[in-house]
Amino acid sequence: MKRILVTGGAGFIGSHLCGRLLAEGNHVICVDNFFTGSRDNIAQYADNPEFELVEHNVQIPYEADVDEIYNLACPASPIHYQYDPIDTIRTCMLGTMNGLDLAMAKDAKFLQASTSEVYGDPLVHPQYEEYWGNVNPVGIRSCYDEGKRCAETMCMDYHRQRNVNVKIIRIFNTYGPRMLPNDGRVVSNMIVQALKGENLTVFGDGSQTRSFQYIDDLIEGMLRMMATEDGFTGPVNIGNPSEFTILELAQLVLEISESKSKIIFKDLPADDPKRRKPDIGLARRKLCGWEPRVPLREGLAHTIDFFRTIV
């Protein structure tokens, strides 16, 4: 049994990760300040004696005896990370530093949940790990984009200077049950609009692309990355290379939900990437052949069923 700390453990991704780690027989310490996390997401684990819930802000150091740390604590949707951009970048920087200090003190592995946003509005396609990105450092999204880039820098400096065993993954668009209905992400937005009979909002002309990854595939990739040999730090792209336009996504949501809603078009937000698709060759080679297994249609059906229970 390992003692594993999951920061942001009550969030969409974190709660699924906690469940998988518990199912594999680990003791899990879930740390969350509930800014975007929800107690409902982790209520099913409350009676498990191997599950601890700690309400705590990662900007403040936290002490625990742990073997592994998954650092997921940070608002990840534009509507949430732009709500208080200073707090967002403080979470990225201080939260990561505090987690690395704990990992160093306990000789624990540390996995940093980074993001495809480090590539910005990419000038290469698909995006591979050696690409340094095209990020606006003074834009409205930069609190998150540059915060995550700085967190990666911090991980590598702790690894090189202090010999901390770090693992960095770059998460591409992920969806599934337990997403927040008001998180401003394209999948949840469209599903909620479809189920409420409202017009589906498509920004720009809908030709911009995304690659959508179901939550179960992400969790599998995270666990395989944590299990890689010492000295392999990444970063590694974890995403689904199947590319869809936003308009195609809207049409698929309408079809699966059997909604009569219409599609409307609005202006594209500032710094919104035009194309996003991961190159996952490194993940296939280093993570025991990992690749996404859940096609978009199947994953959307599961996600829509979840939202029917809360909308």
Catalytic sites, residue numbers: 144
Side-chain half-sphere exposure of 219, counting CA atoms within 13 A: 21
Sign of torsion, CA 66 225 235 164?
positive
State the greatest distance between any 2 C-alpha atoms of the chain, in Å, as a whole number: 58
Q: Of 148, 168, 175, 184, give the one whose Cα is nearest residue 36.
A: 184
Residue 205 to residue 186: CA distance in whole angstroms? 14
DSSP state of 44: G
Instruction: List C-alpha distances in Å: 154 to 91, 147, 163, 165, 217.
Output: 13, 10, 12, 12, 27
CB 196 within 8 A of CB 262: no
CB-based contact 11:37 (threshold 8 Å):
yes
C-alpha closest to that of 270 among 116, 81, 84, 141: 141
Residues making up the chain, counted from first to last: 311
**Placement of tokens 């995550």 in the chain:** 148
Cα separation values, 270 from 53, 136, 250, 264, Å = 38, 10, 21, 19
Contact 275, 122 (CB under 8 A): yes
Q: Which residues contact 186 (CB under 8 A, 6 or more apart)?
A: 173, 210, 246, 249
Whether omega before 137 lies within 30 degrees of 0, making that bond cis, reads no
Residue with tokens 């050696």: 130
